[in-house]
Amino acid sequence: MRKDFILITSNNEKLSLSTYGIDNLADAPCIIFVHGFKGFKDWGFIPYTAASLAGKGYFVITFNFSHNGVSIGSTDIDDFEKFSKNTISLEVSELKQVIKNYLEGYFGKNPSRKIGIVGHSRGGAITLLSSEDFEEVKALVLWASIAKLNRYTERQLLEWKEKGVIEVLNSRTNQLMKLGIELLNDIEKNLSTTLNLEQAIRNSKQKLLIAHGEQDLTVPLDEARMIFNWSNKSNSELFILPNTGHTFGIVHPFSGSNQYFDKLLNKTITFFNQNIN
């Protein structure tokens, strides 16, 4: 069963959340799904994944970051102004607030207080940067995660700084979407401190599953290997899926699973069963 919530953040932003398996809240661990860049909680495989995890007995939270471009009540990107003002630090802060509110009983009293997180693409980086503060977070699963926040060419950086904005193509909708200078300023200011992915991974005490499609053209497989190289090998596993790419063969709107995604989902469920139950 799906139940929707609106969470007001410390910045007075509204987060749209959907929970699955709320009857499992007190008895089972919580899994939080973190979407990526140009992603949202109702994209493609996310509701299917959440329902599948709930069916295995977990309490699952999916949510939209406040500046992911999806306005409250919408199911696709439609707020391009907010999208252009998003930053990595804002998303880290908002994921931490989702975790904190779960622990404090926002979704219901007496939660189990055991947490696993799945992060896809940029959501994987947000997951790594957000989880260190919470001993309740026991296991992390990264799907096609980035290992680098500064992903821009010298030409793009020059244009960005000159114009205060760059445009990126949403290949799904063919829309050109603007990124404001706020994102670049945030990355450049905090890359060696609060947004230091390598340090976050080296400091992590959680069990870590790094899953990546061998044919990922959006985030190269080398970035998964980079994350694994930085990790504690006794706590981490690199899981490479051959013959599939960044979304593991899943499209939006969701039209069903496939052998590659089934393998990924089964691996994810097994990993959580072994590490947070």
Pairing between β-strand 207-213 and β-strand 175-180 as defined by DSSP bridges: unpaired
Per-residue pLDDT, averaged over 133-146, amounts to 97
pLDDT of residue 253: 96
Per-residue pLDDT, averaged over 6-27, amounts to 97
Cβ contact 190:149 at 8 Å:
no
pLDDT in tens, 192-210: 999 999 999 999 999 999 9
pLDDT of residue 277: 74
Q: Which CATH number fits domain 2-150+197-275: 3.40.50.1820, 3.40.50.740, 3.50.50.60, 2.40.50.140?
A: 3.40.50.1820
Tell me which residue of 91, 210, 191 sits closest to 148, measured CA to CA.
Answer: 191
Q: What Cα–Cα distance (Å) separates residue 42 from each residue in 15, 75, 202?
A: 13, 6, 32
Hey, which residues does 66 pair with through a beta bridge? none
Say which residues have a Cβ less than 8 Å from residue 46's Cβ, sequence separation at least 6: 33, 35, 39, 40, 62
Longest dimension (CA), the chain: 54
Cβ contact 101:93 at 8 Å:
no
Pairing between β-strand 59-63 and β-strand 165-170 as defined by DSSP bridges: unpaired
- The SS3 call for residue 18 is strand
Whether the per-residue pLDDT at 1 is higher than 90: the answer is no
| Residue 3 confidence class, pLDDT cut points 50, 70, 90 | very high
pTM, to two decimals: 0.98
- The SS3 call for residue 126 is helix
pLDDT of residue 62: 98
**Distance between CA atoms of 64 and 86, rounded to whole angstroms?**
12
- Domain ranges within the chain, ordered by starting residue: 2-150+197-275
pLDDT in tens, 67-120: 999 999 999 999 999 999 999 999 999 999 999 999 999 999 889 999 999 999
For residue 103, give both structure tokens.
């622990």
- Mean pLDDT over all residues of the chain? 97
Whether the per-residue pLDDT at 234 is higher than 90: the answer is yes
Burial class (CB within 10 angstroms; exposed 0-12, middle 13-18, buried 19+) of 110: exposed
Amino acid in position 229 = N
**Distance between CA atoms of 95 and 123, rounded to whole angstroms?**
10
**Distance between CA atoms of 159 and 165, rounded to whole angstroms?**
8
Cβ contact 241:212 at 8 Å:
yes
